[in-house]
Structure 1
């Protein structure tokens, strides 16, 4: 005679097969993996699905709601309300840029190219606060100031920073393309991390998850080459990094030469390089502040 557990597992097998087929037909890139996540959400569990002996009331309705949203190509992270980033699980909300796995390498590049201690780290164009939260999680002595132009994203960043490092993170809502007196008054910092918007205006994203759900202000970097905001980030790094401090900034895989040229033009750096992501694509500018120069918060740069 079938047990309650047998019935639940039979329902799960059927749900997994049906959900995977529906998501595949909708063009979802990873239908099986997404199906498992949606089923776990509907079952309200963090346990492996094979260990479930029963399913909660409302499981089928909750699953149908999640699957229908994913069929419309709403990002899985928005449906779940969370996104993994390095060792963390970050809160996520609609209208905020979804952190990408490739951005996780920025922390490794920081450790590779910079000598600590890391007392103060800036996360510029913070989005959800992923980079700053990872710093607080992995560098216990560090304090983070995250700067984000969008108030809703800044509020989300504040929550993610506080969970990752209670009392050690602060968020500033500001436009890096103009004067920011609070940054001018900050003094020298040890590192700057940034995943700024950098897409040129004509390079419209093809994935509906990106085009329809990531805020365009977090995608398009401004100017004909998409590098207006990245140039502002480089300018602030030149202005605020202590001698020997390091900037690690993500960019598109074709923008390595242009971002190095921008950093050379802005000046103040003695080492400029482009680092590849785990797939071998050029994705990060790494720039070290020249040790011989004194950082001065009152210094004015044309950005």
Structure 2
């Protein structure tokens, strides 16, 4: 038997060899909450607890993976997004707070209940599943080139009781098969290869390159293709919502205007970075 604070301290002491003290403590708390199935308050109250063999094995395995700088969301197999938890594995990006903001923009600006929505490059499905839950009368489609991503996205759809229709699509090679859409959304690859050197090891070594990187010589490749192909899929007055690389706000505005979209806006995220491009089709 051990006190929960002692368990927390033991885990933290092992993680500080790789992580800063505050992060090590946060990761330790997350592991103990999930693996021991305790509430945070239980841990802070310093209750006495006895780990069973399965919990001890899981805890040791999780610490070893964190020491290799694998993201804790992959270690635990899930990540929070808005008010839900999504299954995540290395085949999909870990949902991020910026993408939560993208969904919030969409919900704020589109009150219509029976929207027709498409998410391109869906990954874990966090965007379309969240929209489907928030708007049960909406028709929501989602596509990805990765069969593994689609499998995980479908798991999340079923787990959370959403009604998204998923299908495989290579947006660079194929046309969008849906028509009369109100909204097209995408958080496509937008990190330039030259930016790899500034990225954290836990992202660079563990998250899927297919979902992250674009060539330096054509960093807006996906946006240009999606904007062009969306014109045949969106109804008049339909909207595009993009998550973008913060350094290309002006370039994105120019691209969308050149593609014939109007009411183009580049919006900042909670970190005050240019993160979202929003535009309407005439």
Q: How does 1:120-135 map to 2 (within 5 A)?
A: 120-135=116-131
Distance apart, 1:118 and its partner CA: 4.1
1:55 partnered with 2:50: yes
Unpaired runs of at least 5, structure 2:
none
SS in 2 for 1:283: strand
Q: How does 1:36-47 map to 2 (within 5 A)?
A: 36-43=29-36, 45=37, 47=39
Mark the CA change 1:39 to 1:191 in structure 2 (over 3 Å): closer, same or farther: same
1:263 partnered with 2:256: yes
Distance apart, 1:233 and its partner CA: 2.1
Q: How does 1:48-87 map to 2 (within 5 A)?
A: 48=40, 49-50=42-43, 54-58=49-53, 59-87=55-83
Mark the CA change 1:194 to 1:46 in structure 2 (over 3 Å): closer, same or farther: farther
Mark the CA change 1:149 to 1:222 in structure 2 (over 3 Å): closer, same or farther: farther
1:104 partnered with 2:96: no
Candidates 179, 186, 192, aligned match of 2:184: 192
Distance apart, 1:277 and its partner CA: 0.6
1:248 partnered with 2:219: no
Larger radius of gyration: 1
CA deviation map 1:139-160 (0-9, x unaligned): 1211211110111001111121
* Contact kept? 2:35, 2:58, Cα under 8 Å: yes
Candidates 6, 13, 16, aligned match of 2:5: 13
Cα RMSD for the two superposed structures: 1.9
- Tell me, in whole angstroms, the C-alpha distance in 1 between the residues paired with 2:227 and 2:250: 14
Residue matched to 2:195 = 203
Distance apart, 1:137 and its partner CA: 1.4
Distance apart, 1:194 and its partner CA: 1.3
CA deviation map 1:53-109 (0-9, x unaligned): 533412333222111111110000001100110011001112211111111011221
* Contact kept? 2:194, 2:216, Cα under 8 Å: no
Mark the CA change 1:246 to 1:64 in structure 2 (over 3 Å): closer, same or farther: same
CA deviation map 1:248-287 (0-9, x unaligned): 11011111111111111221x2210101111111100011
SS in 1 for 2:275: strand
* Contact kept? 1:222, 1:229, Cα under 8 Å: no
Q: May I ask how many residue pairs the two structures share in their alignment?
A: 276
TM-score by length of 2: 0.91
